[in-house]
Chains A and B, each alone.
Chain A
Amino acid sequence: MIRRSVSCLLAIGLLFHSYISAKACGPSYLQPIFVFEGSPDLPLQEFAAGKIGIVRPTFGRKTLLIAYRYLNGGSFAAEEQTALVEALEGQAPENEGESALKAWISARKEYLHEEDPPELYTERRHQGYDFFPNCAKNAFEVATTTLKDRLSSYGASDPNVREWMRGQDQVFQNCSGATEIPHELGPEAPLWLRQDRDYQIAASLLYSLQFDQARARFEKIAADSESHWSATGEYLVGRTLVRQASLTEDEKRKRELYADAERSLQKLIDKGNAFGDASRKLMALIKYRMHPEERVQELADHLTIGGISQDLRQEVIDYVWLLDRFEAQILKEEHQQKEALKEKKPGETSESPLQKNNTYEAVQRGELISIWFSPKLADGTSDYQNDVSLQVKYDKPASEIIKLLEEKLNRNLTLEESSAIKEQIKWSLESRKWLVSQNRKLDGVARDYEGFCNCDDLKLQLADVPPFLLTKDLTDWILTFQNESPDTYTRALSRWRETESQAWLLAALTKADSTSPEVIRLMRAAERIGFDSPAFPTIVFQLVRLKMALGKTVEAQQLLDSIVTRQFDDLPVSAQNQFRAQGMQLAKNLSQFLKSAARKPAAFYDEGLYRTISEMLESRKAEWSEEEFDESKDEYERRLERQYQSLVSQDLRLFDDRTADVLDRHFSLQMLNQAAHDPNLSSYLRRRLMMVVWVRAILLKNDELATESTPGVIKVAPEMSSLLTQYLQTQGPAAREHLALYILLKFPGLSPFIAGSLPEPPTAEDSNYYLETAWWCKPNETEYRSGNEVAKIVPAPRFLEPSQLETARREYETLSAIGDAKSYLGKRVLQWAKSDPNDPRIPEALFIAAQATQSYKYGCNGWENDQETEQEAIRILSEQYPQSQWTAKLEKQEDQ
């Protein structure tokens, strides 16, 4: 169960602690992704075509094996690239049959003119509760083709075609659970129909899991050279064996069946007929299951050399699954060894204190049985709070067990209770029989994938990897590159020295730090890599990192410039952003800093999918419904377009969270103002910075800068121009202060902090005064690292002077002390109302304050809210402005 955050919320009327009423949805969050850490950028086609960007150890194994080929000078043909993308996308094969099934249903419906065709399911129950794909897509494809052919050859009114249809319906009933075998046809039936019927019977036997009979039938069909189905029958002999083997639990029998299948399929492969490819695919499956060590080596060769793979998609999947399986096996063994070797103090057993105390292990060993007793309540239900449990020797007589229980309960058991206990003893003894039996499995059932291990605390060590796996360079490289332990640098360095390959150079460079042995030699070799090499972006990235660590910032900057000027726009966006992050660290002045700080999002994460803004906007538009929204569809769509307008632009650049933290904490108001006027800033960021500067100036009571910056805000935020123009024209500190407050209330997107929700919240009016994510929250001073909450560390840019940093620090402290905006603004409104009750804007301000300070699910502190301010705002509004439209509006909200 993967939990999704709920994007559609209901307003809570807290006044009466009543239930919430239905209202329109609240805003939902857009999360920009600047760097894909575990996978390539989207679209995957570009990575498959060789645009590998900066290769990271955090990439998955499928991604790395693609990168490996390119790093070593290889490539993938166009159709191979398509296969790679399918492998990366990871769609389960059982999902592929949908269109084939629909095509069959459609063809059948057209022929039979049936309004309600029978339901068809393609999966059949295995033994208990799991199902397996029984009828694959080619079954329906062949049936559809055959039907069309028979109709074309004999016509829709031919009764033999109708008979064929009857047989085929019976075949497919077996897909999901029946045992329906079409009847044999006599010699009076035409030859084509008899041959088709033989095939249908064999297929029905296969799908109803009568494998031996199915195989015999297919062998007979294969032997009939006159039959249209002869070659198919020959192939299906092998396929039946594979299916039978995969569903057989007995290991010895399973191996025998697979061996038979191998022989049968090899004959077909040697023949080179139409089923050669299909036979090779089945052989690959058998190798995966029965010869994993040989298969993983074979696949490593195929994937390294290229031009050999028959089914690249499946080979990529099988190779990675096999690596995962071996890893899981290694970790499981290590885990078991660790458990066995747990250090014991003298006199202690290896049992945990818990296990010693509750005799759990004794029950598991069958020495004791557990008896649980729940007394009944008056209504006949169990009183779990007063459960009693006993662990007793398994051979203790029932009468003694009952006596022990009665002592614990301090009363006699009733006849009914005694009877229930005796029944329980019986079940516990049955349970004990199972616990001590030979067939009991302890740690779960593994199936084909087996790439999991309940070993959370363990990581794969290269020393534990079976040596045979590391004889293949591809496998060696992937396992070494991904491994975080420090000794893998030595291995990577050694392999690079042996092979002089770019893949190993890249691996060694990625793992190196400034103190690593031979790092200078490594770096010199890396500097010789040409810009047209697929390794170049990664090499440059790592060289810049190392040069910065070695204090060679000038060289680092030169290297960075070399990639920026040459091929920057051709790089995946993730790579561009990683270089920009480096640029930000090297920046010598504000302009350079801003150039690197502004990032293009690689994608947006929205409702579990990675999307562009346009895709996301279309998705949002499709959410409209008459029941859900007060607005018409047109109004809703126009509102969305207004809201997302600034994000749709091609030159969209944003600050990531880290950069926003740097700007918020280390840039003074003056510096931010300077930044807002940088000529290279994108329109979105300029708007954001201008608004931040204005709000900071207001909150820090820097009237001069507030005035100075207002024209700039008018330019970038025309929707605020009317009120901001008034602000420029307003005289007197109190009047200006009140107007500034009013402007803040009307525009919930305003904040003194760079970080904010995406998209920017609409105006208070446009949001229908649902102000859940409005304005700002008190900044967080902690963050999570490796699962622990720690103090946030935000390094300052090196080009800022100590005096500038000190000013920024003081200003930030002041802003932080203001706390959450809603409460702050609400209290300011109350002061304003008291000092200036006749101001015509007061009722609206009070209404907004009341709306802002109500409890919201995703408020700054969850549902916590400033109830005092909320209630006071409501009281003043209701009592002092009873005739105001805002009071009426408030009452209407409460009624909902």
Chain B
Amino acid sequence: MNLGKRLLVMLAALAIATFFSAKTKTLSRNRIDENGFPRIVLWAWERPEDLSTFDPQRFAVAFLAQTLILKGDDVVLTPRHQPLKVRPEAKLIAVTRIESQKTTGERPALIDLQRQKLVMLIMRTLELKNVSALQIDFDAASSERLFYRSLLQELRQKLPDKVPLSMTALASFCVGDRWLQDLPVDEAVPMIFRMGADDQAIKRFLSNREDFREPLCQRSYGIALDEPFETKFDTSRRLYIFNDRSWITSDVATLAERVPR
């Protein structure tokens, strides 16, 4: 092969390599790790929760701080009503659940004012005691994704640099969906429980040692305490655990059995 041709081949190879390296995402920083969060995070939902006996060195707590409902052109705030007890040194993530009204005539308008109000209300949860990270839980429909993206962008801009921003994600988003790409979050937690119609497909997918395709989803798992899950966890990832009732101290033993080290 002459030099010219060789050069052409090398250039082509370089172009292909560049193409694929561009395709291979470089992961953004993970503020949750930077903030020294423990590997296991317990989701504390809208129930009376006493987590004061859970070792804060081992367990962080992501608690439902509020639910924001998008209704027409308004945002309806429902703050947490059930008590939550945690150790003073526990690492806390304030979770905001966003829902959109499905009733005809009250469907969300998804306007700028709504987005701004959401940002303001979500930022307020940082003022709660010992909260050092935020998480958004929003099962956004396709028509809502643009709105959600701009919400996360605005939120990230307004948050102090060191404050982590996490989101939950339907497991199916993490497998074959593009819309999570480049979202300004530190992680997208794939919820591998209560998956409904997705259940068998996702579990089979993971059992075959396939990984979530979206890199943001490769930092954590979301599982439920009461759902058996036969797969090989990547033990370097953070684990969020959902409980369908209030946490009790003997759940620690269950966790020790269920959660791989």
**Contacts from A to B (Cβ < 8 Å):** 1-8, 10, 12, 19-22, 25, 94-95, 98, 121, 123, 125-132, 352, 354-355, 358, 360, 364, 370, 372, 381-385, 387, 424, 427-428, 431, 434-435, 440-447, 452, 454, 607-609, 615, 618-619, 622-623, 625, 627-628, 857-858, 861-864
A628 touches B81 (CB 8 A): no
Interface membership of B197, Cβ < 8 A: yes
A445 touches B198 (CB 8 A): no
In the complex with contacts A129-B84, A129-B128, A382-B102 CB distance below 8 A = no
Q: Give the complex CA separation of A50 and B68 in angstroms.
A: 38
Q: Give the complex CA separation of A483 and B202 in angstroms.
A: 38
Q: From A857, which residue of chain B is reached at the shortest CB distance? A: B172
A129 touches B253 (CB 8 A): no
B143 touches A441 (CB 8 A): no
For A127, list chain B residues within 8 Å (CB): 83
Q: From A123, which residue of chain B is reached at the shortest CB distance? A: B79
A130 touches B82 (CB 8 A): yes
In the complex with contacts A129-B128, A352-B253, A619-B102, A434-B87 CB distance below 8 A = yes
In the complex with contacts A3-B191, A3-B196, A434-B81 CB distance below 8 A = no
A7 touches B50 (CB 8 A): no
For B181, list chain A residues within 8 Å (CB): 19
A2 touches B235 (CB 8 A): no
Q: Give the complex CA separation of A608 and B193 in angstroms.
A: 18
28 intermolecular pairs with C-beta atoms under 8 Å apart: A1-B45, A1-B97, A3-B170, A3-B194, A4-B196, A6-B139, A10-B142, A22-B178, A121-B77, A125-B79, A129-B129, A130-B79, A130-B81, A131-B81, A355-B253, A370-B55, A372-B58, A381-B30, A384-B235, A427-B57, A428-B57, A434-B52, A435-B53, A441-B52, A445-B49, A454-B246, A622-B107, A864-B201
Give the contacting residue for B197; candidates A5, A94, A428, A623; CB below 8 A: A5
For A8, list chain B residues within 8 Å (CB): 141-143
Interface membership of B76, Cβ < 8 A: yes
> Whole-angstrom distance from the CB of A327 to the nearest CB of chain B?
15
For A12, list chain B residues within 8 Å (CB): 176
Given A4-B196, A619-B104, 16 other A-B residues pairs in contact with their CB atoms under 8 A: A1-B168, A7-B141, A10-B176, A19-B181, A20-B178, A126-B83, A128-B83, A129-B83, A360-B252, A370-B55, A372-B58, A434-B52, A434-B53, A442-B248, A627-B146, A861-B200
In the complex with contacts A7-B141, A446-B48, A863-B205 CB distance below 8 A = yes
A128 touches B81 (CB 8 A): no
Q: Give the complex CA separation of A387 and B239 in angstroms.
A: 15
In the complex with contacts A387-B261, A434-B52, A615-B104, A360-B83 CB distance below 8 A = no
Q: From B243, which residue of chain A is reached at the shortest CB distance? A: A454
**Contacts from B to A (Cβ < 8 Å):** 30, 33-34, 36, 39, 43, 45, 47-50, 52-53, 55-58, 63, 65, 76-87, 89, 97, 102-104, 107, 128-129, 137, 139, 141-143, 146, 168, 170, 172, 176-179, 181, 191, 193-198, 200-202, 204-205, 213, 235-236, 242, 245-249, 252-253, 256-257, 261
Q: Give the complex CA separation of A387 and B40 in angstroms.
A: 13
For B76, list chain A residues within 8 Å (CB): 98
Give the contacting residue for A445; candidates B33, B48, B196, B245; CB below 8 A: B48
A862 touches B201 (CB 8 A): yes
Q: Give the complex CA separation of A360 and B54 in angstroms.
A: 12
A385 touches B236 (CB 8 A): yes
For B53, list chain A residues within 8 Å (CB): 364, 434-435, 440, 442
Give the contacting residue for B139; candidates A4, A384, A446; CB below 8 A: A4
A25 touches B142 (CB 8 A): yes
For A2, list chain B residues within 8 Å (CB): 194
Q: From A383, which residue of chain B is reached at the shortest CB distance? A: B236
Q: From B213, which residue of chain A is reached at the shortest CB distance? A: A19
Q: Give the complex CA separation of A867 and B34 in angstroms.
A: 43
Q: From A623, which residue of chain B is reached at the shortest CB distance? A: B143
For A10, list chain B residues within 8 Å (CB): 142, 176-178
For B261, list chain A residues within 8 Å (CB): 387
> Whole-angstrom distance from the CB of B85 to the nearest CB of chain A?
7
> Whole-angstrom distance from the CB of A318 to the nearest CB of chain B?
18
A627 touches B143 (CB 8 A): yes
Q: Give the complex CA separation of A2 and B45 in angstroms.
A: 11
Q: From A431, which residue of chain B is reached at the shortest CB distance? A: B55
Give the contacting residue for B142; candidates A431, A445, A447, A628; CB below 8 A: A628
